[in-house]
Structure 1
Amino acid sequence: MPDSEDAAVTAGEAYRSRLRGLLDATSDVQALWSDGRWTTWGDVAHCAASAAQQLVALGIGPGDPVLLVLRNRPSAVAALLSCLMRRIPPVLMSYQQPQGQLVATAGALDVTAVILDREDYKGDLPQMLERMALPVVLVSSGSEVAVVVPPVPDDGIRITEGRSVDSSQVAMFVPTSGTTGTPKHVSLPWDRLPLGRESATRPAAGPEERPPVIQAMTMASITGVRSVLGAVGGGRSLLLLDRVDVDQWTKLVEHYGIRVGGLPPAAMRSMLDTKIPPDRLRSMRAWITGSAPLDPSLQAEFEEYFGVPVLVAYGSTETGGAVASWTLELHRDWRDSKLGSVGRANPGVTLEIRDESTDRPVSSGEPGILMARPAGSSTWVRTSDRALLDADDFLFVLGRADDVVIRGGFKVSLGDVEALFRQHPAVRDVGAVGLDDERLGQVPAVGVVLRTGAAVTPDQLREWAIERVVRYQVPKIAVLAELPMGATHKVNRSALRKILADAMQDQEKHVGSST
């Protein structure tokens, strides 16, 4: 067995052993907070055992993948842990995805069953799953028992068919962010799950003993599921929010004295715009963010206002989580000179920049495609990002490699277009896409969200841009109330492209009717 496979097997055994130690049905230690009430580790164990009982009754065992539709609720955590303990690889999916996409994913990945919250078993979904002959395990929003729909026959076990996965290697399947199209699912091996040597033996601790972890990002993402499993592996309690709610998040920071945590850049912008008093974050020693690109000017403004160091991290679903990040020590020594960087390679990680055409390594400071070799892995992962490593080994991400629009033969970087409009004092947020054009092939287009109280028109923004860049870089512009966001709080570019295409048509009709 290759070393990487051996490591995955060993890591899997260690993680499942840790879960068996934590899921004690007699434990009254507070584990999960949701909607104002606590669930104990004993409650979680009860719910996990109930879900396992239903899966066993369906004939589902190690290596049989199931589609796990997740909300940030105790029952979902219990179902996730139940699958992991029994080597049943869960295919993670957010409840926010359309029902049609849920069914398509179940079919494409040939799952053996679907696990979801009772609240999400509605509309056309029951009939759609019944037509696929897929059994459904329903879990309650709290930590009650799970049930199978339709029920298992009294005269025997239902044998569910589907593909088989080597669950000694693969822990789960995690969706990509889907910002440019339908999310793809990436297999996550056991050795990419967060479980340190110290935390593996630490007893479960309630919120009074150790500050809990606030979980606002969806568990159906690499950032969210690693955060949950890292907390669980360390025996720490979790505060579960069903969505990013800045006010509720801040209240939890105050109440529990949270020292380390963070939210996506869009939430950081909202906290500044609503002028949340800095004293409410007085317990925090570090703010961690990385689920979406962070504009350096936003970081500087946030740090100055709240007085909390912002530690940026970079990673992807394909790399199994963060591969580069800042630490407090790096922030102290390098922040002013390296603002805009996503930090240095994490311990055990190797980063390399390669030429986009030749696939050969480039010199320090030269841009190219970012390659990453995660800790403990012998395999290089080719990311979709352009980046550079400077002489001090700091990583600067320049944007997606596929974010270039060819406008009449001229290349326009959508990342550069977004960076341009972020400099405008009236703009709070911006997203750029390429739109098809009969004459030019494609043209850049941006949707801008204005700061509270700001008033500026697309024509005024266009004139402002013309003064700063060459003409072919000036995009079509629409002012939007909000940008469409995916479950991971990145701009959903597929949705934005449709919104902007419709907005441009409306603008053209308006111009035509006024002439």
Structure 2
Amino acid sequence: MNLGTLPTRHAKCRPNHLALIFEEQRLTWTEFNKRVNRLARAFLSMGISKGEKIATILPNSVELLETYWAVAKIGAAVVPLSSLTRGRGLVAMLTNSDSVCVITEPGFTGHLNAVRGDLNIPEDRYLVTGGHPMEGYRDYASVTAAESDTDPTGIEIDDSDVFNIMYTSGTTGDPKGIVHTHYVRSMYCTHMASAYRMTPESVVLHAGAIVFNGAFVTLMPCFYLGATYVLQPMFSPETFIEAIRRERVTHTMMVPSQVVGMLHAKNFSAEALDSLEMILSLGAPLHKEHKDELNRHLPGRLYELYGLTEGFVTILDKYDFPNKPASVGTPPPFFEMKIVNEQGQTVPTGEVGEIVGRGPILMPGYYKRPDLTAQAIVDGWLHSGDMGYMDADGFLYLVDRKKDLIISGGINVYPRDIEEIAVQHPAVREVAVFGIPHEKWGETPLCAVILNERASVAEEDLKDWINERIEARYQRVSSVVIMDDFPRSTAGKTLKRVMREPYWAGRETRI
């Protein structure tokens, strides 16, 4: 299962089919494969061999996609890093991953220059995109243009060879690199294509950062099938909707904040989005209020995915959504799931416990961290650290992230229960509930909200409105804070940890 054979296959079997759209660039499979080949050969000319690691610090771009497939052709591994990674965190990840080459863009070179003295990367293996040579960097465009566009040959690649290392930690703590092999990513290809009903004629749109694993749940099946991939530099609701209308997009994935942004965009309409066959929500729970609104305008399109980069997913199919709207679905074929208590024992149907799973996309481990791997994978089962329960039909209901659990007076308080109520207020657009310190109860819920455009409500009035509708006293919010926006990762996920930090600063617990 050599992933590098996919662009080659499509260039041969469907050479003139549109492979990639990025801004003004429109590349057929023949054109894309030639570009990938030039980069693959450039790596070989630099002396990079099978098994070595190539790091990228790039925004969404054609060059980033080329790198993904070029490393696959020569048996190297890609280490996609976010441009938000700086300083000590950047050094830690580049060092931990054993990266021997870095590809970046002009705007990041200053951050990279600041730490180059701490890295063990040859000076001639720093590449910069953008077409403008810079001191201390080789020009990506010139390096690739000098190479042949034919497929590299003579490199044997098998299932167990590493394709990528994805880092999940931020700039603090020890790096934690999740390894995905060619086999694991090939399982993304086949299982996700089947689950989303993709075909070679599908048109797949992505606007989030493709350095994060969530992007791969549509990227891999799209490139496996030889379909058309529409990549945007970043998410903008208006341009996102216009791209769907213009390119007749059939499949897209979004995090909840993007779903909300799309629903509130000025050019949102069912007519503009009528080509869509799938809207996949992942990364965090999509609140029922937003699910219902989306389904009113675009019925029969919503899928929801719960999953971990380490290698387990459940998918709520669009045809199961009407009967199980609060669920995050079931494990795909060949996956298994159980709910366990703190002793590792399986709990009865309907009882809350930790979500544990296994399947064909399970990582072989964290890179060079067997200790962490042993904590995450026990007897072949991946322990998620998330809380949920199964119903009698085997559908999973996500109660909350274990790390977001609020323990107030010794009682478990699940933020999502409160969020589902708060988001029903007509003035509220988005909501995030997290625990803050409390002298008597240890911690207590705080509700942060973003209001709808032109909406107005006092924080105290909103707090009263929420608490009047909450059944259990221990779930009542102690305060409401109205914000212009939430801190978010480059993948668009809401960062509750960042919102919590000021309240817990100086304390030994919680952050």
Q: What TM-score do the two structures reach when normalised by structure 1?
A: 0.79
Kindly indicate whether the alpha-carbon contact (under 8 Å) linking 1:212 and 1:237 is maintained by their aligned counterparts in 2: yes
1:486 aligns with 489
1:411 Cα deviation after fit: 3.7
1:60 CA displacement = 2.2
* Distance (Å, rounded) in 2 between the aligned partners of 1:314 and 1:199: 16
Q: Is the 8 A contact 2:6 2:223 kept in 1?
A: no
User: Does the 8 A contact of 1:74 with 1:141 survive in 2?
Assistant: no
Q: Choose the corresponding residue for 1:362, options 347, 352, 355.
A: 347
Q: Is the 8 A contact 1:407 1:443 kept in 2?
A: yes
Whole-angstrom distance in 2 between the partners of 1:374 and 1:146: 46
Corresponding residue of 2:317:
327
1:346 — aligned with what? Answer: 332
What's the CA shift for 1:463? 2.5
| Cross-structure match for 1:240 | 231
Shift of 1:376: 7.3
Cα distance, 1:180 vs. partner? 11
Q: Give the secondary structure class of the aligned counterpart of 2:445.
A: strand
- Shifted more, 362-371 versus 438-447: the winner is 438-447
Q: Please, which of 274, 282, 289 is the counterpart of residue 281 of structure 2?
A: 289
Q: Secondary structure at the match of 1:459?
A: helix
Which amino acid letter does the alignment assign opposite residue 485 of structure 1? R
Correspondence for 2:129: 140
Determine whether 1:220 maps to 2:211. yes
Residue 390 (structure 1) shift: 0.3
Identify which of 115, 119, 125 aligns with 1:128. Answer: 115
Partner of 1:496 in structure 2?
499
Same amino acid, percent of matched pairs = 22
For the structure 1 residues 258 and 198, does the alpha-carbon distance in structure 2 shift closer, same or farther, using more than 3 Å as the test? Answer: closer
- Give the residue type in structure 2 aligned to 1:278: A
Residues 37-76 of structure 1 correspond to what in structure 2 (within 5 A)?
37-76=25-64
Deviations 1:453-493 (A, max 9, x none): 22122222233344334167423331100111112222112
Deviates more, 1:291-300 or 1:172-181: 172-181
Report the secondary structure of 1:347's partner residue: coil
User: Which residue of structure 2 lines up, in the alignment, with residue 280 of structure 1?
Assistant: 272
- 1:33-432 residue pairs with structure 2 within 5 A? 33-98=21-86, 100-116=88-104, 118-135=105-122, 136-140=125-129, 149=137, 168-176=160-168, 184-193=176-185, 194-196=188-190, 210-274=201-265, 276-319=268-311, 323-331=313-321, 335=322, 337-355=323-341, 357-375=342-360, 379-432=380-433
Structure 1 residue 299 displacement after superposition: 0.6
Matches within 5 A, 1:457-476: 457-467=458-468, 468=470, 469-470=472-473, 473-476=476-479
The 1:98–1:478 alpha-carbon spacing in structure 2 relative to 1, beyond 3 Å, is farther
Asked whether the equivalents of residues 50 and 146 of structure 1 are also in contact (C-alpha less than 8 Å), the reply is no
Answer yes or no: is the 8 Å Cα contact 2:101–2:121 preserved in 1.
Answer: yes
Please tell me whether the aligned partners of residues 159 and 183 of structure 2 are also in contact (alpha carbons under 8 angstroms).
Answer: no
What secondary structure sits across from 1:254 in the alignment? helix
User: Are residues 58 and 329 of structure 1, via their aligned partners in 2, closer, same or farther at CA, if it must alter by over 3 Å?
Assistant: same
Aligned-pair CA distance for 1:103 = 2.9
C-alpha displacement of 1:131: 4.0
User: Relative to 1, partners in 2 of residues 1:238 and 1:100: Cα closer, same or farther, differing over 3 Å?
Assistant: farther
Task: Write the letter of the residue equivalent to 2:450.
Answer: V
Change (3 A) 1:288 1:145: farther
Q: Tell me, in whole angstroms, the C-alpha distance in 2 between the residues paired with 1:141 and 1:44.
A: 18
Q: Distance in 2 between matches of 1:411 and 1:199?
A: 38
Distance 1:145 1:18, change over 3 A: farther
Q: Matched residues in 2 for 1:97 and 1:433: separation?
A: 25
Once residues 407 and 298 of structure 2 are traced to their aligned partners in structure 1, the CA distance between those partners, rounded to angstroms, is 41
Q: CA contact under 8 A between 2:21 and 2:229: conserved in structure 1?
A: yes
Counterpart contact for 2:206–2:253, Cα < 8 Å: no
Letter matched to residue 238 of structure 2 = D
Over the aligned positions, Cα root-mean-square deviation in angstroms equals: 3.5
Deviation of 1:89 after TM superposition, in Å, equals 1.3
Instruction: Give the distance between the partners of 2:87 and 2:33, measured in 1 at CA.
Output: 29
Distance 1:459 1:366 in 2: 35
| Equivalent position of 1:508 in the other structure | none
Q: CA deviation at 1:400?
A: 0.9
State the 1:192 CA deviation.
2.1
The amino acid that maps onto 2:106 is E
For the residues of structure 2 that align with 1:27 and 1:365, how far apart are their CA atoms?
A: 51
Which amino acid letter does the alignment assign opposite residue 465 of structure 2?
Answer: W
User: In the superposition, relative to structure 1, how do residues 175 and 471 fare at CA in structure 2: closer, same or farther (>3 Å)?
Assistant: same
* Alpha carbons 1:180, 1:494 under 8 Å: kept: no
Residues 373 and 380 in structure 1, CA contact (< 8 A), matched pair in contact too: yes
Give CA deviations for 1:289-334 in whole Å, capped at 9, x if unaligned: 22321112211111112334312122110116xx221334434xxx
Aligned-pair distance for 1:182?
8.4
Contact 1:54 1:148 in 2 (8 A): no
For normalisation by structure 2, the TM-score amounts to 0.80
Distance 1:449 1:328, change over 3 A: closer
AA matched with 2:212: S
Deviation at 1:499, TM superposition (A): 6.0
Corresponding position of 1:444: 445
1:214-247: CA deviation from partner (whole Å, max 9, x where unpaired):
1212211222134222211211221111111222
2:103–2:128 CA contact under 8 A, matched in 1: yes
Using the alignment, how far apart are the partners of 1:146 and 1:223 within structure 2? 33
Deviation per residue, 1:358-378 (Å, 9 max, x gap): 111111111111111113769
Q: Is the 8 A contact 1:348 1:375 kept in 2?
A: yes
Deviates more, 1:215-224 or 1:413-422: 413-422
Quote how far apart the aligned CAs of 1:398 are: 0.7
